[in-house]
A and B are shown apart, each in its own frame.
Chain A
Amino acid sequence: MTAPTPTPTGRPPFVAGLVLDTGAPLAPGTPSDTRFDRSYWAGLVHAAEAGGFDQVVIAGAPSAANGGFDPLLLASSLAPLTTRIALVPEIVTGVREPFHIAAAVQTLDHLSRGRAGWLVSPGPAGAGGYLEDLADARETVEAARALFDSWEDDAEIRDVATGRYIDRERVHDVEYAGTRFSIHGASYVPRSPQGSPPVFVRISALPSAGATGAREARAEREFARASADTIIVDATGLNVAGLDATGVDVAEPEASAGHRGAAGVVEALIADLRGAADASAPTAAPRILVEVTPPHDPADLVAFAETVAGWYRIGAAGVLLRPSLLPASPADLETRLLTELWAQGLPAPQTGDQVRLRALLGLASATNRFAAARNEKAGVSLER
């Protein structure tokens, strides 16, 4: 388990992110108003950037029992204070208008110069429960991606001779018509540095028991495959560190029930997700990040790092570390695990400023559907 397997050629580097939840419990003894202190968050994210994390997922459901900042606005405030770390706020769908969601994500991408992603969390969208929430989230992603494309890169022309600020042939009404809502478009935000900031979707490695749990898990994975650029496998409920999953049901709802190690549950899920991806277009296939709670006991660090290295070897893009408590101060942010991971010989991403998140994740540059259509049309008429 100690010698890392050489990376296959062209394999994107191993990425390591941190998950901070604005509504998570604070470490004991921390004043409760700490979560509403902007310098606390700035300190944490600076420490994460300095400690080698290449992305931070800022989670925070609006209904958290402790309350908590809006993740997108917190991420926006951190954009000018950071240079390298990617910022991925959680956005709960269903309540906030898709048009506003798209504009805010585009704005974060402008503010961070291409370091924005968004974690799409299906939120309450009606009386139909989680399946309806998933359907609503799926349409929200579709509509947002159309809005992301509504401006072509070169729409702003400032042509004094004709008095035109934009070439309106390059700004498009999206006319999105889903089953749940429609949007005229275009976005009021010009195209952002990444064009289409990557969509993260989180799926549970440990679905609830029973038929409903299995059905919801299937729908959740289907939503992730259909909508995500990056799938987060939430393994925080599994005791990965101790490699002990006694009593844990196998994560694949289709498979026969049984018991296996927690790491194995994750492995099976990675294999399942990879198997469903289109092998002919590797940069289009969703990236897989495994979200785990890092071990408390330093003695477990090496074994933990080896497990994570194993996931990378079978196709995961990297790991997200989610501390169970918000640290009392930036000095308490745990980064030793990163050191241990690099010690496994995993290929680290290129460092340097202004790395775009899509590039960091090994995703292809976003193409613009409207520009592509217009170019295709122009090409056809030229051939004639």
Chain B
Amino acid sequence: MSASPTPRRQVHLAGHFPGVNHTTVWSDPTAGSQVDFDSFEHLARTAERGLLDYVFLAEGLRLREHKGAIHDLDVVGRPASPALLAALSAVTERIGLVATVNSTFNDPADLARQFGTLDALSSGRAGWNVVTSSEEFFGANFRRGGFLQKGDRYDRASEVLRAAAALWRAAPGSEVSLRGAHLRLDHVAAVHPGPQGAPVIVQAGDSPDGRDFAAAHAEVIFSPHADQDAAARYAADLTTRLERVGRGRESLRILPGATFVLGDTEAEARERSREVAWAQVSPQTAIATVERIWGLDLTDYDPEGPLPSGEPAEDELRRGQAPDVGQRRQIAAAWRARAEAEDLNLRETVIATTSRHTLVGTPGAVAERIAANVATGAVDGYVLVPHLQPHGLDEFVDRVIPELQERGVYRTEYPEGRTLRDILDLPTPPLLSGEPWATVSR
């Protein structure tokens, strides 16, 4: 396994903190606190030891509900991301720090001040995964909740970003005024961000509007398409959208989320993957997952028995994490076909469909696959999603990173430039080019 003679595209990796879904195995004997700072510090330091681009935090603005009560089978609860990343900025030196923060349920000037502060505190290592929401489910926790039409989500988010950029670009203390279709803002620019001028903008939406928003503003996409065929189609679509706004493919990093399980041999890796999947999908989780898709109370079902025979109901039993009924019917049909073809019971079907790990193999084989996928240009790397807190990245960093380095596709030290944008090897972003969207006065 020698390196290719021609330079291969470089791999970018990020580390996702284990979150509140059934990927995270809380029942493992080594599983630590999901709240204590020590857990996050260990994961961030491990990611930095592995020279990863950034660590990533998701957001959940309301505890998920199942059958009208808080969903209790997965991890529940987490710290607030901006505060946690501010603390991590003090115990790390180089790694990027990316927080998911909703643009709908926050004041634009307050967002600009918070991300400007985080960027300065980390000397230019901050990133903002911009998400939107029009759902009343989440809006119920906010005084200004539920005000936005679904179709306006990204229009408003775009104005929020442009407003934030105007505040980041103005001298602290100057008065920034702007008038948009959604925003009217007159505010003092509060913070001089770090040397990158503005946090790196990350986006994760997959709808056509979301993709256009990404093409206009994003520098990194947290993509849902890890399968290589889907990833290639996704990259082609985004390239078209980027070109429409005068940007090239290399101005955007596409990083799908990827789970991983390693082994000394391929067979051992597959066996470990099977064990992890069984731990991820407890009998109770299997039933609750099928309830979520079918919209039916299946309390009396046997996890070792068959899937329900009927079609999904209109009712949504899961709040905060449910596909719509049309999608659920498609999913149910696919699951039934799979169960029939492979003679799987209910729990086995849920495992086969929801706990298939993206990267399974020996460290060398996993490294080779990552390098090969990146070489095609369909992806630029992955957001690694470990299943254990806080030790979930240890093995990957110890065993896969050296294999990537040996193949000449991964850095052996952080670049000279110290900002997250330098680490991602990205050009000046759209938000920092051209005239800012504001009137600035002192």
Instruction: Decide: A38 and B62 in contact? CB cutoff 8 A.
Output: no
Number of A-B contacts (CB under 8 A): 178
> Contact mask B73-109 → A, CB, 8 Å, 1/0?
1111111101110110111000000000000011101
Say whether B135 faces chain A, with CB atoms less than 8 Å apart: no
Taken together as a complex, chains A and B put the C-alpha atoms of A287 and B84 apart, in Å, by 29
A168–B70 touching, CB < 8 Å: yes
User: In the complex, what's the smallest C-beta–C-beta distance from A172 to chain B, in angstroms?
Assistant: 9
Question: Which residues on A sit within 8 Å (CB–CB) of B75?
Answer: 165
Task: List chain B positions with a Cβ less than 8 A from chain A.
Answer: 26-27, 31, 35-37, 41, 60-63, 69-70, 72-80, 82-84, 86-87, 89-91, 105-107, 109-110, 113-114, 117-118, 120-123, 140-144, 172-173, 187-192, 282-285
Among residues of A, the one whose C-beta sits closest to the C-beta of B190 is A67
Asked if A50 lies at the interface with its beta carbon under 8 angstroms from chain B, I say: no
Q: Are B76 and A165 in contact (CB under 8 A)?
A: yes
- Contact residues in A for B173 (Cβ distance below 8 Å): 64-67
Does the CB pair B77–A33 fall under 8 Å?
A: no
Q: Which residues of A contact B109 (CB under 8 A)?
A: 62, 95
Q: Is the CB of B87 within 8 A of A67?
A: no
Q: How far is the CA of A22 from the CA of B74 in the complex (A)?
A: 40
* A267 and B83 alpha carbons, distance in the complex (Å): 38
Q: Contact check: which of A42, A66, A111 meets B37 at CB < 8 Å? A: A111
B187 — which chain A residues lie within 8 A by C-beta?
A: 62-63
Tell me whether B143 and A180 are in contact (CB under 8 A).
Answer: yes
Are B107 and A96 touching (Cβ within 8 A)?
yes
**A160 CA to B404 CA, complexed, in Å:** 37
User: What residues on A are CB-neighbors of B35 within 8 Å?
Assistant: 110, 189-190
Contacts of A155-173 to chain B: CB distance below 8 A: 155-156, 158, 160, 162-168, 171
CB-defined contacts of B141 to chain A, threshold 8 Å: 97, 99, 183-185
Does A186 count as interface, using CB distance less than 8 angstroms? Answer: yes
Please pick, from B77, B120, B140, the residue contacting A188 in the complex, using a CB distance under 8 A: B77
A76 and B143 form a contact (CB under 8 A) = no
Q: For A76, what are the chain B residues with a Cβ–Cβ distance below 8 Å?
A: 82-84, 86-87
A147 to chain B, nearest CB (A): 9
Q: A78-86, A253-261, A289-297: which lies at the B interface?
A: A78-86
| Pairwise interchain contact B37-A110, C-beta atoms closer than 8 A | yes
Question: Would you give 25 A-B contacts (Cβ < 8 Å), ordered by A?
Answer: A37-B120, A38-B90, A62-B113, A62-B190, A63-B187, A64-B188, A69-B120, A70-B190, A73-B114, A80-B87, A97-B106, A97-B143, A103-B80, A110-B37, A111-B83, A111-B84, A155-B77, A158-B27, A164-B72, A164-B284, A168-B72, A182-B143, A188-B60, A188-B61, A189-B77
Contact of B83 among A107, A151, A168, A183 (CB under 8 A): A107
Partner of A70, one of B31, B69, B113, B284: B113
Whether, in the assembled complex, A98 has its beta carbon less than 8 Å from a beta carbon of chain B, the answer is yes
* Contact A73:B80 (CB < 8 A) given known A38-B120, A185-B141: no
Report yes or no: B86 in contact with A74, Cβ–Cβ below 8 A.
yes
Q: Point out the residues of chain B lying under 8 angstroms from A100, CB to CB.
A: 80, 105-106
User: What's the Cα separation between A220 and B116 when bound, in Å?
Assistant: 32
Chain A proximity of B341: nearest CB distance (Å): 28
Q: Are B70 and A166 in contact (CB under 8 A)?
A: yes
Cβ-defined contact, A77 with B188, below 8 A: no
CA distance A80 to B42 in the complex (A): 13
**Distance in Å from the Cβ of B74 to the closest Cβ of chain A?**
6
Q: Is A131 an interface residue (CB 8 A)?
A: no
Interface size on A, residues (CB 8 A): 59
Q: Which A-B residue pairs are the 9 nearest by beta carbons?
A: A67-B172, A163-B284, A181-B143, A76-B86, A184-B140, A76-B83, A163-B282, A190-B77, A107-B80
With both chains docked as a complex, state the minimum distance between the C-beta of A135 and any C-beta of chain B, in angstroms: 13
Residues in chain A near residue B283, CB distance under 8 A: 163
Complexed CA–CA distance, A107 and B73 (Å)? 23
CB of B117 within 8 A of CB of A70, answer: yes
Cross-chain contact B144 with A97 (CB below 8 angstroms): yes
- What is the CA–CA distance of A65 and B172 in the complex, to the nearest angstrom? 8
Distance in angstroms from B350 CB to nearest chain A CB is 13
CA distance A205 to B86 in the complex (A): 35
Partner of B41, one of A72, A80, A184: A80
- Which of B70, B105, B109, B122 has most chain A Cβ within 10 Å? B70
Given A156-B77, A184-B141, A171:B70 Cβ within 8 A? yes
Once the chains are docked, how many angstroms separate the CA of A73 from the CA of B75?
25
- Please tell me if A104 contacts chain B, counting CB pairs below 8 Å: yes
Check B117 against A74 for contact (C-beta < 8 Å).
Answer: yes
Known A-B contacts A67-B192, A104-B82, A111-B84; the reply to A171 vs B63 at CB < 8 A is: yes
- A233 to chain B minimum Cβ distance, whole angstroms, is 28
B80 touches A106 (CB 8 A): yes
CB pair A97–B142 under 8 Å, yes or no, is: yes
Please determine whether A73 and B192 come into contact, CB atoms closer than 8 angstroms.
no
A327 at the interface (CB under 8 A from B): no
**Minimum CB–CB distance for B313 against chain A, Å:** 23
A77/B61 contact (C-beta < 8 A), A98-B143, A165-B73 known: no
A68 sits at the interface (CB 8 A): yes
By a CB distance below 8 angstroms, the chain A residues around B107 are: 95-96
A342 on interface, CB distance cutoff 8 Å: no
**Set A64, A111, A180: member contacting B190, Cβ < 8 A:** A64
Tell me, yes or no, whether A235 is within 8 Å of chain B by CB: no
Q: Are A36 and B120 in contact (CB under 8 A)?
A: yes
Query: Is the Cβ of B191 less than 8 Å from the Cβ of A68?
Result: yes
A73 to B188, CA, bound (A): 18
B83 touches A108 (CB 8 A): yes
Q: Which residue of A lies closest to B105 (CB)?
A: A97
Q: Is the CB of B87 within 8 A of A164?
A: no
Chain B neighbourhood of A184, CB < 8 A? 62, 140-141
User: Which among A33, A67, A107 is the interface contact of B84 at CB below 8 angstroms?
Assistant: A107
Specify the chain A residue showing the minimal Cβ separation from B140: A184
Q: Which of A37, A73, A103, A104 neighbours the largest number of chain B CB atoms within 10 Å of its CB?
A: A73
Complex contact B90–A36 (CB within 8 A): no
Flag if A73 contacts B86 (CB, 8 Å).
yes
B61, B76, B78: which contacts A166 (Cβ < 8 A)? Answer: B76
Smallest Cβ-Cβ distance to A60: which chain B residue? B190
Q: Which residue of A lies closest to B31 (CB)?
A: A158
Which A-chain residue is minimally distant from B73 (CB atoms)? A163
Asked whether B114 lies within 8 Å of A67 as measured between CB atoms, the reply is no
In the complex, which residues of chain A have a beta carbon less than 8 angstroms from the beta carbon of B31? 158
Q: Which of B61, B62, B188 contacts A65 (CB 8 A)?
A: B188
Contacts of B285 in A (CB 8 A): 163
**Do the beta carbons of B118 and A73 come within 8 Å of each other?**
yes
* Cα–Cα distance between A163 and B87 once the two chains are bound (Å): 32
Which residue of the partner chain, among A68, A162, A171, A181, contacts B76 with CB atoms under 8 Å? Answer: A171
Determine if A67 and B191 form an interchain contact, defined as CB atoms under 8 angstroms apart.
yes
A96 touches which one: B74, B89, B110, B123 (CB < 8 A)? Answer: B110
Residues of B within 8 A of A62 (CB): 109-110, 113, 187-188, 190
